Chain A
C-alpha cells in the first residue's frame, strides 16, 4: 500500500464559492480518494462539494522559472484598473 498514488483535494465550502485546494492524501483509486477526502477534510462541515485530482496530473510552474514567469508583471501598473482616472460624469463604470 506504500505505492498508493497521491491525490490533491479541493473543497467548495458553500454554494457560490469556488473549490479551494486544502491538501492531499493517498488512495488506491479515485473512488476511495473521494471517500478519504470526505473523512479527512470535511468532518467539521468544511464543505458541500469535493474534487480529487491525481497529483501526477497537475502541471505546475517551476520555481526556477519564477523570475521569467512572474517578475515582469511587477512594474506593469497600467494593468490595474486603479491606474486610470475615472473621468467625471461617467456612470456605471
Chain B
C-alpha cells in the first residue's frame, strides 16, 4: 500500500505544481495588472501546496528524493497530474473555466482530506482549504461576468467550458480502494457528485450550459500525457537541469 500511497500523494502534488506553472504563464500577460497579481497569487498558493505534497511523496517513497528532485528531475512520463491542468491556455476564458473546475475539485478534495488518517496530508489539506475557497470565488466571479456579459464574452466562455469539459472526468478516476478504506484518500465518486453540482450551479447562473461530451482518454495518472506537458516541463526544468545545484 505504500507505493499506491506515495503515488496518490504524488498525483495531487503534480496537479498543483503543473497548474501553478500554467498560472505563472499569465504574469505580464493578464488583461489588467490587478488580474496579473491575482493569478500569480493563486499560482503561488498552488505551488505552496505542491511543495509540501512533493516532499511528503518523496518521504513516503523512501528513495531520498527531495521536492526539488521530484519537480525538476523527473521526465514527462513520470509525472502523475491530470491532463486538465497541463494544456495550454488559449484564452483567458479557458483559464477561468479550468480554474473553476480545478479549484472546486481541490476544495472538495481538501475538505475531505482534512480528516485523512495521513497526518501530513490532513495538515496540508486543512491549510489549503481556505486558499482554494478563494480560487473558486475568483473563477466564479469571472465565469459569471464573461458568461452573462456580452455576446462575444458569452461565446468565448462557453467555448472554453466546452474545451475543458472532456478533461473533467479524469479528476474522478478511481483510486486504490485500500487507500480509501484506510482513511488516507478521498473517495472520488463522492467528490464527483459534489464538484459537478457546484460547477453546474455556477455555469447555470452564468447562462452557460454543461457540455454533453464524451470524456477524453485519461492516462495522466499513469504518466500518459498530452504533447503539451513536455514543452511545459522544458521551460520549468531547464534552468535547474542546465545549472545543477545552482543557488542564488
Interface residues of A (CB under 8 A from B): 1, 4, 25-28, 31-32, 35-36, 38-40, 43
Contacts and interface: CB of A to CB of B under 8 A. Distances in A.
Interface of B: 31-35, 37-38, 41, 134, 137-138, 141, 145
A35 B38 contact: yes
Nearest to B149: A28
Instruction: List 8 tightest A-B contacts by C-beta distance, closest first.
Output: A36-B34, A39-B38, A39-B37, A1-B31, A39-B41, A25-B34, A40-B37, A1-B32
A43 B134 CA distance: 13
A19 to B, nearest CB: 20
Contacts of B134: 38
B34 A27 contact: yes
A43 B37 CA distance: 10
B44 to A, nearest CB: 9
B37 A31 contact: no
Contacts, number: 29
A17 B37 CA distance: 27
A85 B152 CA distance: 73
A40 B34 contact: yes
B157 to A, nearest CB: 15
B137 A35 contact: yes
A21 B32 CA distance: 22
Given A32-B141, A35-B138, A26 B38 contact: no
A26 B137 contact: no
A27 B31 CA distance: 11
A40 B134 CA distance: 14
Given A1-B31, A36-B38, A38-B134, 6 more contacts: A1-B32, A26-B33, A36-B37, A39-B37, A40-B34, A43-B37
B32 A4 contact: yes
B41 A26 contact: no
A1 B33 CA distance: 11
A28 B145 contact: yes
24 contacts: A1-B31, A1-B32, A25-B34, A26-B32, A26-B33, A27-B34, A28-B145, A32-B141, A32-B145, A35-B38, A35-B137, A35-B138, A36-B34, A36-B35, A36-B37, A36-B38, A38-B134, A39-B34, A39-B37, A39-B38, A39-B41, A40-B34, A40-B37, A43-B37
A38 B37 CA distance: 10
A39 B31 CA distance: 15
Contacts of B34: 25-27, 36, 39-40
B184 to A, nearest CB: 33
B141 A31 contact: yes
A35 B31 contact: no
